[in-house]
């Protein structure tokens, strides 16, 4: 979704959105003169809001939490790829 739709759905103001993109809390795909945001970006906005409002976490803490979550997601993808390769190897051995 483009920036204006994302602002409407996320209820972020333009200044906050730009600050979060600059801080790399949100990493939209850049296309021509606009950004493209995903449903995952919307979920990330909700997470950031929850961390700030419900837990009182400051900006430095949010940056750390988001970095750790990104690492965890990367590791999950890697484990999934390894499991898929192992399953493929097993099926070749049986076939």
Model pLDDT, residue 76? 96
Q: How confident is the model at residue 55 (pLDDT cuts 50, 70, 90)?
A: very high
pLDDT tens by residue, 78-90: 999 999 999 988 8
What residue segments make up the domains of the chain, in order of their start?
3-94
Mean pLDDT value across the chain: 94
Task: Using alpha carbons, select from 21, 64, 55 the residue that is nearest to residue 41.
Answer: 21
Model pLDDT, residue 95? 65
Does residue 33 surpass a pLDDT of 70? yes
Question: Does the global pTM surpass 0.85?
Answer: no
Ranges of H-type helices in 11-58 = 14-22, 39-53
- The span from the CA of 84 to the CA of 86, in Å, is 5
Q: Tell me: domain 3-94, CATH 1.10.1660.10, correct?
A: yes
């Amino acid at each position: 979704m483009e920036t204006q739709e994302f602002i409407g759905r996320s209820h972020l103001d333009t200044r906050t959105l730009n600050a979060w993109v600059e801080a790399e809390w949100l990493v939209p795909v850049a296309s021509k003169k606009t950004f493209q945001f995903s449903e995952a970006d919307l979920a990330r906005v909700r997470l950031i809001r929850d961390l700030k409002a419900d837990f009182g976490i400051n900006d430095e803490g949010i940056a750390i939490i988001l970095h750790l979550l990104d690492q965890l997601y990367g590791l999950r993808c890697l484990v999934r790829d390894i499991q898929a390769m192992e399953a493929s190897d097993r099926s070749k051995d049986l076939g």
